[in-house]
Structure 1
Amino acid sequence: MFDPITLDQLRAFVSVVEEGSFSAAARKLHRVQSAISTSMANLEAQLGVPLWDRSTKVATLTEQGQAVLGSTRRVLAEVDGLRRLATGMTMGLEASVSLCLDVLFPQNVLINLCAKFTQEFPAVDLRIDSQVRSAVSARVLDGTATLGVVTPKGLVRGLETQALSPIRVLPVVSPSHPLAAIEGGIASRHFVDAIHVVLSGCDDDAVSDQAGLSPRIWRVGDIHTKLEMLRAGLGWGNLPEHLIREDLRKGTLVVIRPTAWGDHENSLNLLIIYRRDTVFGPAQRWLQEQLTQLCAREAHLRR
């Protein structure tokens, strides 16, 4: 059955509410007042509820009208979104894009990226996933994610790469841990009895981070569990500086210096990855550019 309610009626209804009167809405919509009055009367008849209290000089919304107003605005917002989506599709804009990030990726960069994305592409859905190491590459290879950000240890063959600014990772322990009591460089013999807490994917038997100093290794699947374990003094391990900046300031974590590593171990490169057969739309190209810019800005601020 054909629905007699029109978008024109709904827009007129919202205009009357926003402008404060039938006459003001008519001026805004460049129509005569009688047309607006008729439209409102028809809308009330079709809905079967009184929208306006006409007992006063200026019509006001009834309780039913207040309830209908909220639904009307949602309907119009959905219609406007549909039009933006259709317009974007005719220009090659994607309906949705997906991004898979290594858990080491800076969260503040991600939040800035999402805030910019919703302003730039309000009609495009963004899907974000976080994984450990090679699991990121797996998501990109199977098409679950269009773009990924991974560390070199998580890179697999068959993917195109684009370098991002590196992030800094630091070996840390709780101030209560025995390693924290050793000043300066720490010789390898001191790590023999220390538990090394590392990140490892569920399908990844390899040891994450820089291993080799501690024979005792505990593997965890997410970075926040690792952070809490190190805070509790259960072991030592590497964490990205952006994640532990506040812990270092408060002293709940302290940096240690394994002499076997050297300063070059403090930087970890990040790579954008994508399949070679990927055809990028405007939103995906924008994500690539913004990831590069925002990561470079984060590195600059850190310096």
Structure 2
Amino acid sequence: MIESLTLDQLRILVTVSDEGGFSAAGRTLGRVQSAISQSVKALEENQGIKLFDRSRQRPTLTAVGRVLVEQARAILASTERFEAIAAGTRQGQEASLTLAIDPLVPTEPLIDSMRAVRDAFPNLPVSFYTEGLGGAERRLRTGSASLAFCLLLPSVPDDLTAYPLMDRTLIPVAAAAHPLACLPRPLTREDLDAHIQLVLADALDTDGPNYGVISSRVWRFVDIARRLDFLLAGFGWCKMPPYLVEQHIAAGRLKELDLSGDGPSPTDTLPIYAAHMRNRALGRAGSWLLDDLRRRLTQ
């Protein structure tokens, strides 16, 4: 029965399987062979199954024994993670790390730091949330994220502690066959206003501030990948991070628009921050990640 099952029995079962016998398992665990044998026998009797075939000189796992040894390994690994998370929490480590990321923030700079976090905190569960503009900041305030990588426009709010990480450049683009891409001259505001602008928006506050909106005709998107799909399909124009559109420009699917005339700024530079609530200090893993990322970016 499950209520009579102990972790010690499972540990003995796995050790007998790994070491190839009761005597060898006893030596590994520092116990006499009779104690090992008795533990396995009790496990078999309580569960009503036969784990080992003892008809040969060396006991071998039965078919059900092979399956249950793997189940025992999974249970033991889970208990080790349980103990590691509890121990880490006693030392000031978060039980889990939840990161919120604005859609314009590139993933690439985070990869090396997240790999280092995985190695430094191997048992730490990590969750990522990417939503529309403003979503990362909102998750900080609701407490559903401890650290955000986000835009903070027009300025850093008083209730956040923010660290500048990088500047993200946006370039104006349209599909190669779009009318704006076909004009043989620098574009004016009037040119842009005549066509749909594809805009990233806050999923919950579509009437919020419209930074960078020029056209009077606007289509709003929460998902930057979805906006890219409609951009490639020729529905309108927008300013995009170079890392998302460079390959499409090189392949001729998109064209960078020439705004060097009397139109708006040809490029926009947006500051990317790491931020957390001022009244909610980061745990060990969050602080470690922030320090590692800032160090890598300054190098």
Q: What is the TM-score with the length of structure 2 in the denominator?
A: 0.88
More off after superposition, 74-83 vs 121-130: 121-130
Residue 161 of structure 2 corresponds to residue 160 of structure 1 = yes
Could you tell me which residue of structure 2 aligns to residue 125 of structure 1?
Answer: 125
Structure 1 unpaired stretches of 5+: none
**CA deviation digits over 1:48-94, x for unaligned, max 9?**
21001122222211111122112211210121111111211221111
Provide the C-alpha distance between the structure 1 equivalents of 2:245 and 2:57, rounded to a whole number of angstroms: 64
SS at match of 1:211: coil
Name which of structure 1's ranges 241-250 and 88-97 shifts more when overlaid on structure 2: 241-250
Distance 1:12 1:183 in 2: 78
Deviations 1:141-189 (A, max 9, x none): 2322222122132754422211011222221111111222235632333
Contact 1:209–1:238 (CA<8 Å) still a contact in 2?
no
Contact 2:159–2:279 under 8 Å retained in 1? no
For 1:261, the equivalent position in structure 2 comes to 264
Q: Give the C-alpha shift of residue 196 in structure 1.
A: 0.7
Query: Is 1:85 aligned to 2:85, yes or no?
Result: yes
Whether the 8 Å contact between 1:165 and 1:292 is mirrored in structure 2 is: no
For residues 293 and 266 of structure 1, the distance between their equivalents in structure 2, rounded to whole angstroms, comes to 25
SS in 1 for 2:173: strand
The residue number in structure 1 matching 2:285 is: 283
Per the alignment, residue 239 of structure 2 pairs with 238
1:124 Cα deviation from its structure 2 partner: 2.6
Match of 1:46 in 2: 46
How many percent identity over aligned positions? 32
CA distance 1:233–1:60, shift in 2 (3 Å): same
| 1:76 and 2:79 matched | no
One-letter amino acid of the counterpart of residue 68, structure 1:
L
Alignment of 1:25-44 (within 5 A): 25-44=25-44
The aligned runs of 1:90-101 (5 Å cut-off) are: 90-101=90-101
Report the secondary structure of 1:194's partner residue.
coil
Contact 2:100 2:145 in 1 (8 A): yes
Q: What's the CA shift for 1:44?
A: 1.2
Give 1:224 shift. 1.4
The one-letter amino acid paired with 1:131 is E
- Cα distance between partner residues in 1 of 2:25 and 2:246: 55
Partner Cα separation in structure 2 for residue 79 and residue 23 of structure 1: 26
Name the CA distance, whole Å, in 2 between partners of 1:161 and 1:107.
19
Alignment correspondent of 2:61: 61
CA distance in 1, matches of 2:81, 2:18: 21
Match of 2:205 among 203, 212, 223: 203
Count of equivalent residues? 295
3-state secondary structure, aligned to 1:81: helix
CA distance in 1, matches of 2:195, 2:160: 37
Instruction: Determine if contact 2:133/2:222 at 8 Å carries over to the other structure.
Output: no
Structure 1 Cα separation of the partners of residues 195 and 209 of structure 2? 16
Aligned to 1:227: 228
CA contact (8 A) 1:85 1:95 kept: yes
Which stretch of structure 1 is more off in the superposition, 234-243 or 132-141? 132-141
Alignment of 1:108-147 (within 5 A): 108-147=108-147
Matched with 2:24 is 24
The Cα shift of 1:16 comes to: 1.8
Q: Distance in 2 between matches of 1:81 and 1:224?
A: 36
Distance in 2 separating the partners of 1:83 and 1:69: 21
Is contact 1:19–1:25 with CA below 8 Å preserved after alignment?
Answer: yes
Deviation at 1:130, TM superposition (A): 1.6
Aligned partner of residue 98 in structure 1, secondary structure: strand
- Contact conserved, 2:189 with 2:264, CA < 8 A, in 1? no
**Distance in 2 of aligned mates of 1:293 and 1:69:** 45
Task: Tell me the secondary structure at the aligned position of residue 248 of structure 2.
Answer: helix
